[in-house]
Chain A
Amino acid sequence: MAIEVRIPTILRSYTDGQKAVEGSGATLDELFKDLDGRHPGIRERLVDEAGGLRRFVNVYLNDEDVRFLEGITTGLGDGDSVTILPAVAGGRA
């Protein structure tokens, strides 16, 4: 099950400069664990100690903010696209 993950500039040091990588997982949480296997350290930048999404990181499934879906437990399917971004205007206070 291939999921395209778009990586922001600030995290490309973990992906050898790649703008997008592929990963797999039935949920976002599984996807981040899968990515961390090939790009060690990236998960820690995205997930906090409590296992939730970090405050100033936004993650989008097919352009939709996962915080309005099921957060880190949001389900994924083949061909989905995940975008990781720093929070911008309208991000969480």
Chain B
Amino acid sequence: MRYDSPLAAVGNTPLVRLPRLSPSEDVRIWAKLEDRNPTGSVKDRPALHMIEQAEKDGRLTPGCTILEPTSGNTGISLAMAARLKGYRIVCVMPENTSAERRELLAMWGAEIISSPAAGGSNTAVKVAKELAAEHPDWVMLYQYGNPDNAGAHYATTGPEILADLPSITHFVAGLGTTGTLMGVGRYLREHVPGVRIVAAEPRYDDVVYGLRNLDEGFIPELYDESVLTTRFSVGSEDAVRRTRELLSSEGIFAGVSTGAALHAALGVARKAVRAGESADIVFIVADGGWKYLSTGVYTAESTEAAIEALHGQLWA
């Protein structure tokens, strides 16, 4: 395939069947390899789309500073596009994200402001909102509430999946900004009667959450529960275990959040097998494992050791 520029090469990623992890001939699991995007993650789609829509609306003009709360991938995508397009970029990122993500952001010229580990991405969002109030001239694209985030997936990811697999019955993706699930989910619901949209929500151990209160909880403005059919909460242990299984049985080297999506995909697959239904289940490989190598989860002797290695770190 030929493109006129690196940015034009976002999207059109492969969809591959996983013959070893699929439970039967009738219940098939498919991986959408979003790590094949220019900066190596699914976030290239919303980042580029949000920037280009903001340019069209006149919100982003030459010389502008972009501000974004991000646990890594969106920042990396935005920073690459910002460098090519000539914008300054400031990223607010939880302090407990991996060293590789910081290196990548710095490599693309982003300035990083660390937010406290407690509260994870929620705290990063809060800090970014405070900075935005202090610097009204900075442009916060704000992936959690920007309809162009979901819009990118509605316009590209959804149509690509349907074209490759018209028989799709389930779509599974991680729940973060909710952009992938909202965009692909809406598109598929309009075109595939009865399609099931399944969210895999990361569940961290208490170290990451800190002392959370039952009454708090950040809900991204993009989130619309009516798009979802169901939601899985996937703990670090299962996410790590599935990430390692994906590597050992199918040769796919993916980030830890992908293990969480696979865990939910296998959960709906098991239910389909029990119900005697056939199914074509697509899940998103959000990024490759490169940025998580330093955690040691891929080479640890056992899953237990890998879980220990990841303890206390943000992985989605």
Contacts and interface: CB of A to CB of B under 8 A. Distances in A.
A68 B213 contact: no
Nearest to A10: B214
B231 interface: yes
A91 B231 CA distance: 10
Contact of A91 (B121, B176, B217, B238): B217
B264 A63 contact: yes
Given A60-B233, A63-B232, A88 B218 contact: yes
A50 interface: no
Interface in B183-221: 199, 201, 203, 206, 209, 211-220
Contacts of B216: 56, 86
Contacts of A83: 203, 233, 235
A64 interface: yes
B217 A64 contact: no
Contact of B175 (A9, A57, A85, A89): A89
Interface in A36-67: 45, 54, 56-58, 60, 62-65, 67
B212 A68 contact: no
B214 A90 contact: no
Given A63-B233, A68-B231, A90 B201 contact: yes
B234 interface: yes
Interface stretch (B81-89, B162-170, B222-230): B222-230
B270 to A, nearest CB: 9
B231 A89 contact: no
Given A63-B238, A64-B231, A57 B214 contact: yes
Contacts of A69: 230
Contact of A56 (B178, B214, B220, B225): B214
Contacts of B295: none
A89 B233 contact: no
Nearest to A60: B233
A89 B230 contact: no
A91 B233 contact: no
B146 interface: no
Contact of B219 (A10, A64, A93): A93
A69 B122 CA distance: 27
Contact of B211 (A9, A45, A93): A9
Contacts of B219: 89-93
B297 to A, nearest CB: 20
B241 interface: no
B220 A85 contact: no
A45 B214 contact: yes
A89 B89 CA distance: 25
Contacts of B122: 88-89
A87 interface: yes
A22 B231 CA distance: 24
B116 interface: no
Contacts of A45: 214
B19 interface: no
A89 B121 contact: yes
A85 B203 contact: yes
Interface string B250-265: 0000000000000110
20 contacts: A9-B211, A9-B212, A56-B217, A57-B214, A60-B233, A63-B232, A63-B233, A63-B235, A63-B238, A63-B267, A65-B231, A88-B203, A88-B209, A88-B212, A89-B175, A89-B217, A90-B178, A90-B199, A90-B220, A93-B223
Q: Which 10 A-B pairs have the closest CB atoms?
A: A68-B230, A87-B217, A65-B231, A91-B217, A86-B214, A63-B232, A90-B175, A60-B233, A9-B206, A93-B219
Given A9-B211, A86-B213, A88-B209, 10 more contacts: A57-B214, A63-B234, A65-B233, A68-B228, A85-B203, A86-B214, A86-B217, A88-B218, A91-B219, A93-B219
